[in-house]
């Protein structure tokens, strides 16, 4: 059996150990600050507009800046992760975010706030791609969906945390510092703690194998297997699996457009474009929708705190589902649920119905989100996993950055029209993923891409012709 086959098979036969639990927790805590940051500007949009006396265009810039940064970070830091390794990239991206989030909390004017949020976004841009790639690399196929969903369940606690912290801190000025500034400062300090914890994470054996560092990958696997046996766990014989490519150092970004990946890349890009409207569109526009309905900033923040509870609950609800339902089917069904709940939220008038339909939207959207994130970690081979997912996520971030320029003018027509636009985007998403998406649930990573895009390892012959880099 070849080294490549051995590493893949040995990873997939592993029982869940302390190593897996530590990885899920450390990745989940990093995702906590990603979701916290993503929903922070939308949550604080009302108070920032008031504090800096923002007109329509500066407010759009504040809302869009972090997502533009994440667009850039997702492309370039995702690529870096396939070059320097998952662990080192994890430390790089979280360190950048922590520093510039602190700068944002101390911003003396809106210009510094926009720039600092942009740079914090660059740091966080690769977080989702890194999380998906690392967990997909590390977790056995039979449990990959469930434990990735568990990491995202930890991560999505950041959304209600942002909502409730805002409702508590915004009216206050602890130690003479505006409450909204503490929201950024606490994010920076928390991310620094997670940065320290992530130093304990091991490198991905699949990545080590993909870049030709076979001895290191074998030594790491042997260490984990010995630890599992020492704890009384039984390791079955590894199954034979297709060989993984070992040309990561030679594969340019353009490899994701190779004929064998073209269908997958098209599906992933359309999925991320449409997903931005449904998922991030709600977090961006919901506080302003409540303001348009006549609710005060304090009341809106309180309502959002309750609505955002649906995010971690939906993520937790996905745990028993994500391994039982084919991933792309689960994505399609939950996207349909988001479209319906969003329309009803747009038409809702009373506090009770606003909270009810908003809660249902966030609940369903995080069942969707967990399936969506697991899926991104499965559709590209190891050598391109972070790159492919990073570029796909960058489409989502760039679209989200443009949403204020699309949805705020639509809000002038009415909340109902806004969520009609969202529902239309989700309808396109459903057709796209059902028609073009591969089936992945319960399958080894090495079998997914060859089965859909063509047999055999990826070589230079498969790559598009043109500049090497």
pLDDT at residue 449, as a whole number: 60
**Distance between CA 24 and CA 327 in Å, rounded?**
20
Contact at 8 Å (CB) between 43 and 163? yes
Contact at 8 Å (CB) between 91 and 141? no
Alpha carbon distances (Å) from 395 to 73, 111, 379, 418 = 11, 25, 16, 21
Q: How many other C-beta atoms can be found within 10 angstroms of the C-beta atom of residue 297?
A: 20
The phi-psi region of residue 232 (left if phi > 0; otherwise alpha if psi is between -120 and 50; otherwise beta) is left
**Distance between CA 406 and CA 102 in Å, rounded?**
30
Contact at 8 Å (CB) between 17 and 224? yes
pLDDT at residue 105, as a whole number: 93
Contact at 8 Å (CB) between 323 and 374? no
The DSSP secondary structure of 278-309, one letter per residue, reads IIIHHHHHHHHHHHHTT--HHHHHHHHHHHTT
Residue 355 tokens, joined: 């909270």
pLDDT at residue 448, as a whole number: 66
pLDDT digits (tens), the chain, 469 positions: 444 457 888 888 899 899 899 999 999 999 998 888 877 876 777 788 888 888 878 888 888 898 889 889 888 888 888 888 889 999 999 999 999 999 999 999 999 999 999 999 999 888 888 888 899 889 988 888 889 989 988 988 887 888 788 888 888 899 999 999 999 999 999 999 999 999 999 999 988 988 888 899 999 999 999 988 988 888 887 766 555 544 444 567 788 888 888 999 999 999 999 999 988 878 778 888 888 888 887 788 788 888 988 988 998 899 889 889 999 999 999 999 999 999 999 999 899 999 999 999 999 999 999 999 889 888 888 778 888 888 898 898 889 888 878 888 888 898 889 899 999 999 999 999 999 999 887 777 666 664 444 444 445 445 445 443 3
pLDDT at residue 468, as a whole number: 39
Contact at 8 Å (CB) between 362 and 307? yes
Give SS3 for 52: coil
pLDDT at residue 1, as a whole number: 42
pTM here?
A: 0.76
List the one residue out of 313, 246, 281 whose CA is nearest residue 411.
Answer: 281
Q: Does domain 3-217+249-453 have CATH number 1.20.1250.20?
A: yes
Q: How many other C-beta atoms can be found within 10 angstroms of the C-beta atom of residue 2?
A: 13
Residues 6+ apart with CB under 8 A from 174: 182
pLDDT at residue 461, as a whole number: 43
């Amino acid at each position: 059996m070849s080294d490549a086959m051995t590493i893949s098979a040995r990873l997939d036969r592993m029982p869940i150990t302390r190593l897996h639990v530590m990885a899920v927790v450390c990745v989940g805590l990093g995702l906590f600050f990603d979701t916290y940051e993503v929903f922070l500007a939308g949550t604080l949009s009302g108070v920032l507009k008031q504090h800096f006396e923002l007109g329509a265009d500066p407010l759009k810039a504040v809302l869009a800046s972090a997502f533009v940064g994440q667009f850039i970070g997702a492309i370039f830091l995702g690529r870096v992760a396939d070059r320097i390794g998952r662990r080192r990239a994890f430390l790089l991206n979280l360190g950048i975010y922590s520093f510039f989030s602190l700068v944002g909390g101390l911003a003396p004017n809106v210009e510094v706030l926009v720039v600092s949020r942009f740079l914090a976004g660059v740091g966080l841009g690769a977080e989702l791609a890194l999380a998906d790639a690392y967990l997909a690399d590390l977790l056995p196929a039979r449990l990959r969906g469930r434990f990735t969903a568990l990491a995202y369940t930890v991560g999505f606690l950041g959304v209600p945390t942002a909502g409730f912290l805002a409702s508590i801190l915004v009216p206050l000025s602890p130690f003479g510092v505006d409450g909204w500034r503490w929201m950024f400062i606490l994010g920076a300090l928390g991310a620094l703690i997670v940065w320290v914890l992530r130093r304990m994470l091991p490198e991905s054996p699949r990545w080590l194998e993909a870049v030709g560092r076979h001895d290191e990958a074998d030594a790491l696997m042997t260490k984990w297997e010995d630890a599992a046996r020492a704890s009384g766990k039984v390791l079955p014989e590894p199954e034979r699996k297709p060989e993984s490519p070992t040309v990561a150092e030679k594969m340019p970004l353009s490899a994701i457009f190779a004929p064998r990946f073209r269908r997958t890349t098209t599906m992933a890009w359309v999925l991320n474009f449409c997903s931005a409207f449904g998922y991030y569109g709600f977090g961006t526009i919901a506080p302003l929708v409540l303001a348009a309905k006549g609710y005060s900033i304090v009341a809106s923040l309180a309502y959002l705190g309750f609505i955002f509870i649906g995010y971690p609950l939906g993520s937790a609800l996905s745990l028993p589902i994500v391994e039982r339902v084919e991933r792309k089917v689960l994505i399609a069904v939950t996207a349909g649920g988001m479209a319906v709940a969003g329309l009803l939220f747009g038409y809702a008038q009373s506090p009770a119905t606003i909270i009810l339909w908003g809660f249902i939207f966030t609940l369903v959207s995080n069942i969707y989100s967990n399936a969506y994130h697991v899926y991104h970690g499965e559709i590209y081979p190891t050598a391109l996993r972070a790159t492919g997912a990073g570029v796909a996520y960058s489409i989502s971030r760039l679209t989200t950055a443009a949403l204020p320029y699309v949805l705020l003018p639509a809000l002038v027509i009415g909340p109902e029209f806004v969520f009609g636009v969202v529902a239309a985007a989700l309808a396109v998403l459903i057709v796209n993923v059902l028609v073009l998406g591969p089936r992945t649930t319960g399958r080894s990573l090495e079998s997914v891409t060859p089965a859909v895009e063509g047999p055999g390892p990826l070589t230079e012959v498969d790559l598009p012709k043109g500049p090497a880099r």
